[in-house]
Structure 1
């Protein structure tokens, strides 16, 4: 009993962009399924601009992963899917975490041996090795992870400023040891990594993708006074204080 997959990783139009543990990021060099001249023209320029379809492939070997609801495209092998929710208490907790962090209440768990292919995306897939650490993730980036990681939420230090700054009051966290997959608007190569040691970072905008939970995160006025903030033209800024790491994507486009 077993399976073999042909014309996937052995396809000349497919490259393995990254691999970490049982997680593999596949990228398609060209979109070969164009059916019109307009489609072909658009796909050509998209490919030249690094806008290529990507897929996350997850291999299970008597192991378990968790993923974003609705992300699965197909599975091969013997595995079972559960909701990851235990009873009414788990459902209530899941509803709070989903409302707080902007993610779905139910995150399917897949356990067993086989392969899972997620839906293709033009966004960029990051694979992160969380090594006995705890990181905070910007809203909506979660894609999948090993269930050895504990997924939770963390609150802003000052709720009123967070609301005024256009940020959510809570963020998702990943704690422990395992692989975390994120779906981000920019490639990891464009990420600026800032390591703080008892210092502070001020960011005008929500382009911090991820940061250490050891940092104190607040939203504050850019100046000491209202007049100073108005004069600087910045208004409110996101502030990260303490010792830890912040991953910035300053070239990301936000509406």
Structure 2
């Protein structure tokens, strides 16, 4: 399989004698399948002054433009519709609908999970490059297990994985937990890539061993293993809830993993009000009620 950072013969980079302007951020591979998260070291700028100013600040803050590359060797990948940037090699696009019934299921899945209705499948040998973005990504290798993720986080995976819909077990969790009634279910064995709302380095993975994790806010991204999700009061009595200053907590019980994005609420506040609203410590990010 070709290294995605290598320079093909006759390419512009080779012709000009310039070095590759890309770094490898993360990578994972299984037999016949490899995923690389690539990052552009810097952006060269633009002849438009306004764009050049944005590029300057991106470079100064080390905000990297990223790109996911899938390398296939007689294998198959599932990708979010519209994510393809370019591909090369001997790869065929498969986009099975499965008749009227398949169309109905796909549209229902889109409505429930915020994922695209039809996920193209790329089959063969070669490289598939997905659209560059300033987003952040998490690679996870499932081993005969299940991931329940927030709607819209799934980005791409090996075709050995099944991507479907997971329904909350009780109405109170759906109405009060801030996650909605339906989430995305990824099941099986293989590599999956999830698009994150915060940098991957700021995501914390909490391992539970027949334990309980309670979260005051909506910053739990996904969970794996035998973990039950519910919404509970922070204490048994009304007086205890009032005196503690907390209300309802997202509660995870069992054995498995829970991925948290503790900085997500801070970025949301900064996008709405800049830094002025963060001059003092925030007491709670609050679970939706």
Q: Same fold (TM over 0.5)?
A: yes
1:158 equivalent in structure 2: 170
1:191 equivalent in structure 2: 203
Once the two structures are superposed, the pairs formed by residues 40-51 of structure 1 within 5 Å of their partners are 40-51=52-63
- Give the CA deviation at 1:240: 0.6
1:251 equivalent in structure 2: 263
Closer/same/farther in 2, CA of residues 254 and 224 from structure 1, 3 Å limit: farther
Q: Does structure 2 retain, via aligned residues, the 8 Å contact 1:77–1:115?
A: yes
**Hey, which of these two has a bigger chunk of helix by percent?**
2
Closer/same/farther in 2, CA of residues 8 and 18 from structure 1, 3 Å limit: farther
1:206 equivalent in structure 2: 218
Q: Does structure 1 retain, via aligned residues, the 8 Å contact 2:162–2:186?
A: yes
Secondary structure of residue in 1 paired with 2:56: helix
Query: Quick check: which has more Rg, 1 or 2?
Result: 2
Which moved further from structure 2: 166-175 or 241-250?
166-175
1:97 equivalent in structure 2: 109
Distance 1:254 1:238 in 2: 19
Q: Does structure 2 retain, via aligned residues, the 8 Å contact 1:134–1:176?
A: yes
- Give the CA deviation at 1:137: 1.3
Aligned-residue Cα RMSD (Å) equals 2.5
Residue 108 of structure 2 is aligned to residue 109 of structure 1: no
- Give the CA deviation at 1:50: 3.3
Structure 1 residues without counterparts, runs of 5 or longer: none
Secondary structure of residue in 1 paired with 2:226: coil
- Give the CA deviation at 1:239: 1.0
1:127 equivalent in structure 2: 139
How big is each residue's C-alpha offset from its partner over 1:157-176, in whole Å with a ceiling of 9 and x where there is no partner?
22234223432111112111
How big is each residue's C-alpha offset from its partner over 1:79-135, in whole Å with a ceiling of 9 and x where there is no partner?
221224322222222222222211111111111122111111111122111122211
Residue 249 of structure 2 is aligned to residue 241 of structure 1: no
* Count of aligned pairs between the two proteins: 254
Distance 2:199 2:183 in 1: 21
Secondary structure of residue in 2 paired with 1:34: coil
Q: Does structure 2 retain, via aligned residues, the 8 Å contact 1:136–1:213?
A: no
- Give the CA deviation at 1:77: 2.2
1:33 to 24, 31, 45: 45
Which moved further from structure 2: 237-246 or 8-17?
8-17
TM-score (norm 2): 0.79
Residue 19 of structure 2 is aligned to residue 19 of structure 1: no
Residue 208 of structure 2 is aligned to residue 182 of structure 1: no
Closer/same/farther in 2, CA of residues 193 and 8 from structure 1, 3 Å limit: farther
Distance 1:81 1:8 in 2: 29
How big is each residue's C-alpha offset from its partner over 1:8-46, in whole Å with a ceiling of 9 and x where there is no partner?
899432111122121111101111132244433432332
Structure 2 residues without counterparts, runs of 5 or longer: 270-289
Distance 1:225 1:173 in 2: 35
- Give the CA deviation at 1:154: 1.4
Which moved further from structure 2: 22-31 or 220-229?
220-229
TM-score (norm 1): 0.89
1:222 to 205, 210, 234: 234
